Amino acid sequence: MTKSSVLGYPRIGADREWKKALEAFWSGKLEEPEFHRQLQEIRLNHLRKQQEKGIDLIPVNDFSYYDHVLDTAAMFGIIPKRFDYEGGVVPLSVYYGVARGTKDAAASEMTKWFNTNYHYIVPELDGATLVLAENKPLIAYREAKERLGIEGKPVIVGPLTFLKLSKGYRSEELDVWLSRLLPLYVQMLQELAREGVQWVQIDEPILVTSVSNDDIRRLKTIYTTFAASVPDLNIMMQTYFESAEHYSDIVALPVKGIGLDFVHGLSGNLASIQAYGFPADKVLGAGIVDGRGIWKAPLRDKLSLLHKLAETVSPDRLIVQSSCSLLHVPVTAKSETKLAPELRHALAFAEEKLEELALLTKALTHDEIAVADELERCDRALQALKLSSERNRSDIQQAVSAVSAADAGRSRPFAERHQEQQKRWQLPLFPTTTIGSFPQTAEVRKARQQWRKREWTSERYAAFIREQIEVWIKLQEEIGLDVLVHGEFERTDMVEFFGEKLAGFAFTQNGWVQSYGSRCVKPPIIFGDVAFEGAMTVEETKYAQSLTERPVKGMLTGPITIMNWSFVREDISREQIAYQLAYALRQEVEALEGAGIGMIQVDEPAVREGLPLKQAEQANYLAWAVKAFRIATSTVKPSTQIHTHMCYCEFHDMIDSIEAMDADVISIETSRSHGELIHSFETSTYKLGIGLGVYDIHSPRVPRVEEMTGMIDRALRVLDPKLFWINPDCGLKTRGFEETVASLRNMVEATQLARRKHAE
């Protein structure tokens, strides 16, 4: 009989209860016992929900106090030496120290989980003594069974994926670390088997990337060892986010089940099954419902696909499941009552996806007649969205087609632009600036809320924003920054703000998803054709510039980032969506320049995260991503300086594309990776302006001058001093007032030291 399952469930709660508990604990408002109690209540509620919706195999150990990769590292005692850890179960103070930093120790690096907007904490193996400090999956299994009678499916990050995502070792040492780690996995699995666990989900998403033959050898070693050590434990070796590489090797592993993504990896995985079949002794975990998208599944198409799979895999060996963890979508669409009906009825968040999985399983097990009404409702909802006038704007489609067909590039090469810009601005050696935002204090958030509730008039709110701009322009001048920003106090989010001012967007009331730690974002929905409707940032930027003789940057979010940090329509390509956004942003760039703003920053922190996991598809993506940026920025005068910003990612494999964007200045996050990105510039020359972030804004600690000086000195060994800028690694919206000012003062002091050194 066909069963249903999900690969993981959102942690944050329908009303972000999880976020609120974490932040209360961090601020000292919640004692540790009460903190544990509240998180347990949230966790059990999530399990109950899946139980009530009829999910057969319910995941446990997918819940986390911060991040599941950090959980795995803590489970094996992998804590960086700079933290006060003496073995045993990792205390919360150390756990959160690794994630967020402490007064005396920098946080571990944070980067994107494959090509999603979720960030994980990178494990540091250097110097670690591995031990099974705590069997977290066993604890989670016992809790679900004892409290709710659920025979849970423990979820574990697989050994190969864990090691490939870790740092602190040389590539030739991978087998050594595997030999240390593998016995601990075996110990953990044996304890689960003795407990009576039926199914274990071991996640190996690394297998959808271009893994080597050596990695496949390691994979065989891992799962052969598991089979010998826990022969009666049903292991579902799970892949997701794309089609599996080395399909024949993977399906030959001695495991009970293989999980494949039939949404984002549909063509590749289906082709593999049709070409090579599927083992008769294994269960297929068919990822049929999109775990990353918010749209209602086309149920008839999904059933057709399941029937096609059933030609190769008998229904009793099929598990109908989500394509990946539902961590990446909001919790429930029930509260989205303010959206237009054609949009609202086409949405499916995590809770609704549980219903889709149960319905598809029922249809496959019994008959489509049993779910005929649901299928009809789904058809009507998707057809209404397809016919929406917002999706059929011929004026926008024609204009964007013409723009995207033309070449996009600045009128003069960088060397000539740089001379004109230096003549215009007369900037000192190593100009200092920030990335754009300043602290969004409780006062700022309250004012915005009062304005949105119409308790404040728009005039009063605009006056309040001007007051904040005045304060921070004066502060930036006092601190000694060279290029200023207005602070973005009018913006809730760097994507939402622009979406609210462009056609083709919709916004949820409660569509929150976890980005990193307690940081949750509410991605806009791009459901129609995107169009410019009027100036979006000119008023605040122009006002800020009127307060100072120093240059003030206009601040925009780039087309690729807006797209990658939104939930997007599926009826046209992402390339076309990017060009629509770029055309709209071009009109805003031109409006800023027309208002006298001579420096314009178009941030693209999410370019790297959109990079396809398949190498064969990466060059095409980078080509149109670069083109979209150039469409947005290429029409300005040579003397207008275009900036951009990127963060949270590995950039060594796309330096050429970054340079092809032809921004006059790019700032890149490097602080959490401890300057490792600088190595990329030791092997290749970068000829444009660049600022490598010299301190981590995601940690509440104030960096010392010496730390930033070390980062600057190393960068200047490989970068042209005449083109080098100094800045934090990201925006400062989430930081407190005092720490922000103190950190920026230290940054300026480090800059002054560097200027004196290089002036000699």
Task: Check pLDDT > 60 for residue 726.
Answer: yes
**Does pLDDT of 760 surpass 70?**
no
Find, among 254, 257, 241, 163, the residue nearest to 205 by Cα.
Answer: 241
pLDDT for 235 equals: 98
Give the number of other Cβ atoms within 10 Å of residue 373's Cβ.
9
> Does the pLDDT value for residue 199 go beyond 70?
yes
Alpha-carbon span 97 to 123, nearest angstrom: 13
Nearest partner of 581 among 633, 540, 541, judged by Cα: 633
Token digits of residue 736: 């407190």
pLDDT, residue 153, reads 98
Cβ proximity of 260 and 279 under 8 Å:
no
Q: What is the mean pLDDT of residues 454-472?
A: 95
* Res 451: pLDDT: 93
pLDDT of residue 683: 66
Element (DSSP H or E) covering residue 248: helix 247-251
Instruction: State the chain's mean pLDDT as an integer.
Output: 94
pLDDT band, very low/low/confident/very high, at 515 (cuts 50, 70, 90)? very high
- Which helix (H) or strand (E) segment holds residue 235: the answer is strand 234-238
Mean per-residue pLDDT, 405-410: 90
How many CA atoms are closer than 13 Å to the CA of 408, on its beta-carbon side? 25
Sign of the Cα torsion 7, 13, 19, 22 reads: negative
For residues 381 and 30, give the distance between their C-alpha atoms in angstroms, rounded to a whole number.
Answer: 44
**What's CA 523's distance to the chain center, in Å?**
11
- In degrees rounded to 5, what are phi and psi of residue 445? -65, -40
378, two tokens: 């789904």
Read off the tokens for 396: 């926008």
pLDDT at 550: 97
pLDDT 10s digits, 423-448: 999 999 999 999 988 888 889 989 99
Residue 261 and residue 287: Cα distance in Å, rounded?
5
Global confidence as pTM: 0.90
Phi and psi at 646, nearest 5°, equal -135, 150
Q: How confident is the model at residue 679 (pLDDT cuts 50, 70, 90)?
A: low
Query: Per-residue confidence at 676, pLDDT binned at 50, 70, 90?
Result: low
Which positions make up the binding site?
16-19, 112, 435-437, 488, 519-520, 565, 603, 609, 645, 647, 669, 730
CA 111 from centroid of its chain's CA atoms: 8
Confidence (pLDDT) at 163: 98
538: which 2 tokens? Answer: 């000119």
| pLDDT (tens digit per residue) in 92-140 | 999 999 999 998 898 999 988 999 989 999 999 998 999 999 999 999 9
What gap in Å lies between CA 301 and CA 384, rounded to an integer? 17
Of 699, 647, 738, 649, the C-alpha closest to 82 is: 699
pLDDT exceeds cutoff 60 at 672: no
User: Which residues belong to the active site?
Assistant: 698
Residue 651 pLDDT greater than 80, yes or no: no
Please report the pLDDT score of residue 675 as a whole number. 55
pLDDT at 719 > cutoff 90:
no
Question: Is 357's pLDDT higher than 70?
Answer: yes
pLDDT of residue 100: 95
Residue (of 599, 458, 624) closest to 542 by Cα position = 599
CB distance 10 to 331 below 8 Å: yes
Is the domain spanning 64-199+207-227 CATH 3.40.50.720? The answer is no
pLDDT band (50, 70, 90) for residue 197: very high
Residue 561 contacts residue 524 (beta carbons within 8 Å): no
The residue among 475, 474, 471, 465 whose CA lies nearest residue 445 is: 465
Instruction: Report whether pLDDT(674) > 70.
Output: no
pLDDT at 697 over 80: no
pLDDT score for 714? 85
Residue 43, helix vs strand vs coil: helix
Locate CATH 3.20.20.210 in the chain: 64-199+207-227, 418-759
Identify the CATH assignment for 418-759 out of 3.20.20.220, 3.40.50.2300, 3.40.228.10, 3.20.20.210. 3.20.20.210
CA–CA separation, 448 and 497 (whole Å):
12
What local confidence, expressed as pLDDT, does residue 669 receive?
A: 78
The pair of three-digit structure tokens given for residue 23, joined into one six-digit string:
């932040």
541-598, pLDDT tens digit by residue? 999 999 999 999 999 999 999 999 999 999 999 999 999 999 999 999 999 999 999 9
Helix axes 299-310, 266-276, angle to 10 degrees: 20
Percent of the chain past pLDDT 70, that is, above it, reads 97
pLDDT value of position 492:
83
User: Is it the case that residue 336 has pLDDT exceeding 70?
Assistant: yes
Q: Is residue 442 classed exposed, middle or buried when 0-12, 13-18 and 19+ CB atoms within 10 A define those classes?
A: exposed
Q: Range with the lowest mean pLDDT among 103-107, 213-217, 331-335, 414-418?
A: 103-107
Question: Binding site residues for L-methionine, as ranges?
Answer: 435-437, 488, 603
- Dihedrals φ, ψ of 233, to 5°? -90, 130
Dist. CA 521–CA 631, nearest whole Å:
27
* Residue 179 pLDDT exceeds 70: yes
Decide: 744 and 481 in contact? Cβ < 8 Å: yes
- pLDDT score of 565: 93
pLDDT of residue 57: 98
Reported confidence tier of residue 682, pLDDT bands at 50, 70, 90: low
**Mean of the pLDDT values across residues 619-631?**
96
Q: How much is the average pLDDT of 355-373?
A: 90
Question: The tokens 């600022």 sit on which residue?
Answer: 691
Q: Which residues contact 329 (CB under 8 A, 6 or more apart)?
A: 10, 291, 292, 293, 294, 349, 350, 353, 513
Which residues carry a binding-site annotation for L-homocysteine? 435-437, 488, 603
pLDDT in the model for residue 668:
84
Residue 348: count of CB within 10 angstroms of its CB? 22
Task: Write the pLDDT tens digit of every residue in 389-403.
Answer: 999 999 999 999 999
3 state DSSP class of 715: helix
Q: In what order do the strands lie in the sheet with 567-568?
A: 502-506, 525-532, 567-568
pLDDT score of 1: 83
- What does the pLDDT read at residue 711? 86
Q: 602 pLDDT exceeds 60? A: yes
Alpha helices in 496-596 (DSSP H): 496-499, 538-546, 559-564, 574-594
- Running DSSP on this structure, what letter comes out for residue 366? S
Share of the chain above pLDDT 90, in %: 83
CA distance linking residue 188 with residue 441, whole number of Å: 45
